[in-house]
Structure 1
Amino acid sequence: MSITQQYLLDTYRARQLGEPAPPAPGTHDRRVVREWHDRRRFRAVLAGRPAHGRVRRALRRWWSPRPRVLG
């Protein structure tokens, strides 16, 4: 069953029981992602790590050319 079908079924049941309809799928996605991001930054600060730029710094290390060892 897809998420849309489950939502329609839940809406139908809520209407039959006289309850408020559930929120549509994806309604709170932005808020959830923002809270997750804020929590990660907060935990990084508590752990003494940089709160921003970690991904970019890791990618820079990964993509930078390594010095050749001549021998």
Structure 2
Amino acid sequence: MNATQQHMLDVYRATRLGTPAPPAPGLNDWQAVREVRDYRRFRAAVEDRSPRPHRFRAALANLFTSAGRSSGTRGSAGRAGCSRPVAGAGSSACG
């Protein structure tokens, strides 16, 4: 049984019992994510730890910048005059 089927069963049961229907699945997902983030920040403040904002973004940026340097595709000295190819214009002359 998937989430939609379970929700339909819960709505049916709620109408039979005269209770309010539960919210649809996925309706409050972003609110839950924000609450978890706020709770982690609160726990960091209570435990007197400095919160580390944007750790995920920093890790992704570090991952992509190190991958670009090791593969040699970005900023190569031999390709100084190359630009990205334009859609529909064929392949670039950078080869």
Do they superpose with TM above 0.5? Answer: yes
What is the rounded CA distance, in whole Å, between the counterparts of 2:35 and 2:21 in structure 1?
24
Equivalent residue runs for 1:5-44 within 5 Å: 5-44=5-44
User: Which aligned segments of 4 or more residues in structure 1 are displaced greater than 6 angstroms?
Assistant: none
User: Which structure 2 segments of 5+ residues have no match?
Assistant: 71-95
SS of residue in 2 equivalent to 1:33: helix
Aligned match of 1:53:
54
| 1:9-54: CA deviation from partner (whole Å, max 9, x where unpaired) | 0110111111111111112111100111222233345323x43132
Q: How many residues align?
A: 65
Percentage of identical aligned residues: 52
Please, what TM-score do these two structures have when normalized by structure 2?
0.53
Amino acid at match of 2:52: A
Work out whether residues 14 and 21 of structure 1, in 8 Å CA contact, stay in contact via their aligned partners in 2: yes
State the distance in 2 between where 1:30 and 1:57 align.
21
Q: Which amino acid aligns with 1:39?
A: Y
Per-residue deviation, 1:3: 0.5
Matching residue's letter, 1:55: F
State the structure with more CA Rg: 2
Find the residue that maps to 1:21 and give its secondary structure.
coil
In structure 1, stretches of 5+ residues that fail to align are: 67-71
- Separation in 1 of the partners of 2:16 and 2:49? 50
